[in-house]
Amino acid sequence: MSDDMETDYEVGQDNIQIMGLDIHNPVFAVSGLTIIAFVFFSLVFREQATEFFGWLRPALTSRFDWVFMVAANIFVVFSLLLIVTPYGSIRLGGDDAKPDYSYAGWFSMLFAAGMGIGLVFWGVAEPISHYEASLGGVALGEDGARTDWAPLGAALNDPEAAHELAMAATIFHWGLHPWAVYAIVALALAFFSFNRGLPLTMRSVFYPIFGEATWGPIGHVIDVLAVFATIFGLATSLGLGATQALAGLNYLFGVPVTDGMKVFLIVLITVFALVSVVAGLDKGVKRLSEANMILAALLLLLVLVVGPTMVILTGFFDSMIAYVEALPALSNWIGREDTNFMQGWTAFYWAWWISWSPFVGMFIARISRGRTIREFVTCVILIPTLVGALWMSVFGGAALDQVMSGNGQALSDAVLELKMFKMFEAFPMAGLLSFIGIVLVVVFFVTSSDSGSLVIDTITAGGKTDAPTAQRVFWCVLEGAIAVVLLLGGGLGALQAAAIATGFPFAIVLVLMCVSIFIGLVNERRRK
């Protein structure tokens, strides 16, 4: 179906104002009430919830790992093709559109929203995990048990081979594939909103496929799925951030690591996020995102200077080469013997990124008017991949240098959320580095929560970007509540299970989105 068809849809039609909330059709009510019910039953039936989450993640990744692998590969190939085809010259917003933000402001916001907490949490933990797994021929299973593993033919007891594989696998999980997921959603939303004048909501993207039916039940289902994916994907990251921040506070100041303290920390940071949400995109989110980038750059520079500088710098180039060489094998889903790695790490990551994609995609779309598609894809995929690889090379490289030199036993033995702080112990200014790390986690925590609330608010208000403040507050509070529930109902495993459960159905939605984008771009070229 052509997207040249006229539509009489009006943003905000059938909206009902109740207690300051802009209720759009059934999307707000269905998604809001379902999530509230989930929070209630998870708290009341906590034991059953813990058991369920423990079963859910391995059940999904063992059966549907190929779905995530194939979908992610499609997104990478489709995105990169847009750079080299004539469609890359199409400008988001029309030929005369001008960017709303400078490159610095634009990049700061998209990067802070896209991966902040995850990079800080996994920057040390993931390379160490892959190194020790590949070196010893074992890997952590979903339930914490150690199982046989022979990834990509890595030689056992070969530290250099294990180092290269660890960094290649880490960059793989934070490189082209996740940013391609974000780029697909962001490009679709930006194009159909800015170039076609449709509401900035998920259903609009599918107008070329479903036509006027987009504004009916099909569209409601798409938007509700987007809300579920966004809020549970965010809760996963918020839970990780709270866990790591509390581990750092315990390490520096002896703050007790208890469920009560985790809840208190999530509540406290949710309050900070509320302040930013009320301030809005330009005053709140933009300023916090820029502060994030400054703090992240400062921490990166300090680790580079006080750590093994030359090892890190040379390691970056070696890691990038290893990533490119291993990319085909890591992306393959057929005949893999390292199923534990593919299911326990890669499938989870792809589901996590997909669950985040409505949030990050819509956020990037809102700030990307005026960019050409070629410029957009390059800046949203290639540049963040390089920056993410640099971050992992600095933190992972410094950590692996400690372990390989025989001085990293405490680092190896530390729990995941404490590994970064344990690495800092070997450096000068360890206390300062740890303090900056905690502040960075907290600020990333706030920016993820506030920008996520703005996005969910837009979806449930039918594409409005100026919905009532009370509605933004509602979603911000609900995000914090879900993070609390998942942490209490199974910890890290529950958080990961929720991300996979919501990411799975949305993976299919994103594949259809690629088809819709192609139809829209073809028709755009025909118009000129």
pLDDT in tens, 485-524: 777 766 666 666 777 777 888 899 999 999 999 999 999 8
What b/e sequence results for 473-490 when a residue is b if at least 16 CB atoms lie within 10 Å of its CB, and e otherwise?
Answer: bbbbbbbbbbbbbbbbbb
476 assigned to some structural domain: yes
Does any domain span residue 8? Answer: no
**Eight-class DSSP state of 140:** E
Distance CA 516, CA 522 (A): 10
Reduced to 3 states, what is the DSSP secondary structure of residue 362?
helix
pLDDT exceeds 90 at position 310: yes
Residue 70 is predicted with a pLDDT of 96
Within a domain: residue 460?
yes
- Using CA atoms, how far apart are residues 300 and 99, in angstroms rounded to an integer? 29
Pairing of strands 138-140, 21-24: unpaired
Phi, psi (deg, nearest 5) at residue 377: -65, -40
State the pTM of this model: 0.85
The CA distance from 518 to 86, in Å, is 12
Residue 299 has pLDDT above 50, yes or no: yes
Would residue 39 count as lying in a domain? yes
Distance between CA atoms of 466 and 420, rounded to whole angstroms?
Answer: 40
Q: Specify the amino acid at residue 34.
A: T
Distance in angstroms (rounded) separating the CA atoms of residues 330 and 332:
6
Instruction: Strands of 13-124 (E only): list them.
Output: 15-18, 21-24
Is residue 3 in some structural domain? no
pLDDT digits (tens, 9 = 90+) for 201-225: 889 999 999 998 888 889 888 888 8
Cα–Cα distance measured from residue 483 to residue 263, given in angstroms and rounded to the nearest whole number: 9
- The verdict on residue 7 lying in a domain is no
Query: Which secondary-structure segment (H or E) carries 15?
Result: strand 15-18
Structural domain boundaries, residue 383? 15-527
Q: Is residue 9 part of a domain?
A: no
Cα–Cα distance for residue pair 265/310, rounded to 1 Å: 38
Q: What is the number of structural domains in the chain?
A: 1
Q: Is residue 404 part of a domain?
A: yes
Taking residues 257-281, what's their average pLDDT? Answer: 79
> For 385-397, what is each residue's pLDDT tens digit?
888 899 999 999 9
List, for residues 444-470, the tens digit of each pLDDT value: 777 777 777 777 877 887 776 666 777
Nearest CA to 186 out of 207, 202, 209 is that of 202
**What are 86-144's pLDDT values in tens digits?**
999 999 998 888 988 888 777 776 666 555 667 888 889 999 988 887 665 554 334 44
